[in-house]
Amino acid sequence: MARHRGVTWAFLAEPGYGRTLTAELALFAVVMLASAGHGIARSKGRTELTRARTVVALAGSLGVVLLATALPAI
């Protein structure tokens, strides 16, 4: 979808849409890592770590949604 809008690697460093999209993609990567860590911690029976990673994934998901709504139209 970004390519369809003309977004390039260099565009991601520019203020506005580029930086917002970069922050959203980075936060999405953190959410995916937290979700994977949650699954691993749960399989090992580590409940405290499971809860912590759940909270990180949930908060990160909210951040991704908020950043997505903040993207300006290009």
What pLDDT, on a 0 to 100 scale, did the predictor assign at position 28?
Answer: 97
Q: How many Cβ atoms sit within 10 Å of the Cβ of residue 22?
A: 15
- Please answer whether residues 56 and 30 qualify as being in contact, where contact means their C-beta atoms are separated by less than 8 angstroms: yes
| For the chain, domain boundaries | 10-70
What pLDDT, on a 0 to 100 scale, did the predictor assign at position 47?
Answer: 95
Cα 8 from Cα 27, distance rounded (Å): 19
Q: Among 17, 19, 13, which residue's Cα sits nearest to residue 5?
A: 17
Q: What is the pLDDT of residues 19-69, one digit of tens each?
A: 999 999 999 999 999 999 999 999 999 999 999 999 999 999 999 999 999
Is pTM, for the whole model, over 0.85? Answer: no
What pLDDT, on a 0 to 100 scale, did the predictor assign at position 4?
Answer: 82
pLDDT category of residue 70 using cuts at 50, 70 and 90: confident
